[in-house]
């Protein structure tokens, strides 16, 4: 407000009142854990193959598409040589829950659309027996 008061005291018209605001912002420092890597496509694919091998060994863990994708990306970010273990995080639990809901939905869809077998005998006349 004091800048505008000084502007109004001027005797010569120098144009409209303008204020230029300059803001200097520093770039935020990325905080990552030491050894954490970027999850590139090749690392994600490598992690997915490693996870498939882990699941093939027979642990009683049901992991479908959404949870496996999350796990692959999470494992791809880990330092080289990290042992494979299911993440113990809320997003992984949510992904497993979504997978379970999708699996349940697919079962319901399949139960609504059942194929029937053709009858063995000729049933054309059976439908009209009451006529």
Give the model's pLDDT for residue 62.
Answer: 83
The angle at the Cα of 130, spanning 127 to 131, to the nearest 5 degrees, equals: 95
Ranges in the chain, pLDDT < 50: none
Cα separation, 9 vs 14, in Å, equals 12
Give the model's pLDDT for residue 98.
Answer: 93
Give the model's pLDDT for residue 9.
Answer: 75
pTM metric for this prediction? 0.57
Q: What ranges do the domains of the chain cover?
A: 41-112
Express each pLDDT in 81-115 by its tens digit.
Answer: 889 999 999 999 999 999 999 988 887 766 666 66
Give the model's pLDDT for residue 2.
Answer: 79
Helix axes 65-76, 41-56, angle to 10 degrees: 120
């Amino acid at each position: 407000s004091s800048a505008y008061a000084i502007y109004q005291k001027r005797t010569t018209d120098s144009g409209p009142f303008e204020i230029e605001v300059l803001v200097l912002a520093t770039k935020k420092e990325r905080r990552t854990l030491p050894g954490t890597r970027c999850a590139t496509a090749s690392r994600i694919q490598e992690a997915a193959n490693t996870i498939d091998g882990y699941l093939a060994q027979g642990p009683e863990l049901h992991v479908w598409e959404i949870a496996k994708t999350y796990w692959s990306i999470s494992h791809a970010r880990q330092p080289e040589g990290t042992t494979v273990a299911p993440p113990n995080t809320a997003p992984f639990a949510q992904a497993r829950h979504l997978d379970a809901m999708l699996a349940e939905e697919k079962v319901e869809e399949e139960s609504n659309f059942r194929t029937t077998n053709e009858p063995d005998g000729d049933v054309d006349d059976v439908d009209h027996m009451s006529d």
